[in-house]
Chains A and B, each alone.
Chain A
Amino acid sequence: MKIPYFPGCSLKSDAAHFEQSAIEFSKTLGVELVELPNWNCCGTVHSLTTDDIMHHLACVRNMVHAQELGKQLGTNKLITLCAMCYNTLAQVNELAKKKPDDLKTANEFIDDLPDYEGKVEVLHLLTFLNNYVSFEKIAKVVKGRLNGLKLAPYYGCLLVRPEHVKVDDRERPVLLSKLLGMVGAKCVEFPYAVECCGSYHTVNLKEAVIEKTYTIVNNARENGADAIVLSCPLCEFNLDKRQKDVKAVYPTFEPMPVFYFTELLALASGKKVNVNAHYVSPENVLRKYGL
């Protein structure tokens, strides 16, 4: 099965291990993620004012590329990995359906591409695996097991909010726990699973992110986790790389490794984790569980 796939900027640089593990793992399921030709940056955050069509253009362009590639591959699906890309593309896609006049304006402005017809289905890989592959099948296909690795599944904001694009229950999501549980991980419940990491404040209000990371990581540990698992490169930067800054403010802070969920799926299916891509080394935790 070949499915159009939108990578996003981070997956081509800092989060290359996210993309690589997702592509490898999908292959073991017989799914080939086909990168959109000529995709452009989604813009990362959905523009929320009613009249700001200009900031939707990037997503509409991507939807056109998905539509055209989909026609060749015989599908209307588009798979995303990054939570920000997913959210921005899905929200613009919803807008295109709800406000046909705005879509018309965008289509008329984009005069170098075919019109977007509004029929692409934007899916996060988690939703795709759940709805179109099934976690049971994954459990059967994946030979290895994660040996009871204790994880705190962190969804953050953009996978579960706002309502019309959520991939799971917005207050108590279970998709990550179910999926990783199927391949032998032990996911803990922790109250900060859908709490914001501070997001773009990491640029101009680093202190806020340090507080958030301190709270989220400690809370994950208090609930028994040895690592955090997530799906957003900005959350990853804030929760993994910013641990260095947390340590500077709170000297007794104990670092905790952070994984993309696809890294663990790939690990369960026999691939290695690229430990060099992590700021907090996951080596000790992996060793503890014999992984």
Chain B
Amino acid sequence: MQINEGEIEKRDIFIKQVEELSGQNLFGCYQCGRCSAGCPMVSRMDAIPSMVMRLVQLGDEKVLDKNTYWVCASCYTCDVRCPKGIDIAKVMEALRQIKLRKNLNYVDIKKIDGIEELPQIALISNFRKYTG
């Protein structure tokens, strides 16, 4: 596969953006898979967390089309189990923020099913993660 220089530059910019927002060294990841093994939401993800780590290492912006970082519940299980000390939850948050900062909300707060029964703690946390 050949990648031209413009493409390389674009990829570098994306990698740097994720690194800056998350404060994490993405290249620490050596694909052991513990994050994916312990993830409580993994069965609903179309790319497992370790795969997302690989895609951001490659600077592949198509990672933003995966649902992984939206399905992440910020439970920090991956964080505490990563042998390389990478806060993967922060990488997921960085990806969410890249979308949200473009005004692309994941949840429409005016169309919440069954909002009458939901306590404020659920709405506040949900809107914090899914609206910008």
Contacts and interface: CB of A to CB of B under 8 A. Distances in A.
A205 to B, nearest CB: 7
A84 B93 contact: no
Contacts of B87: 48, 162
A82 B120 CA distance: 13
Interface string A77-106: 000001010000000000000000000000
B119 A237 contact: yes
Interface stretch (A50-58, A183-191, A265-273): A50-58
Interface string A221-234: 00000000000011
A162 B80 contact: yes
Given A49-B22, A212-B40, A200 B120 contact: no
Interface stretch (B3-11, B29-37, B48-56, B124-132): B124-132
A202 B121 CA distance: 11
A170 interface: yes
Interface in A1-17: 8-10, 13-14
Contacts of B21: 49-51
Interface in B52-110: 71, 73-77, 79-80, 87, 89-90, 92-94, 97, 107
A196 B77 contact: yes
B83 to A, nearest CB: 13
Interface stretch (A39-47, A110-118, A138-146, A247-255): A39-47
B22 A203 contact: no
B12 interface: no
Name the 8 nearest CB pairs between A and B, nearest first.
Answer: A48-B93, A161-B76, A196-B75, A203-B126, A200-B125, A200-B126, A44-B125, A157-B75
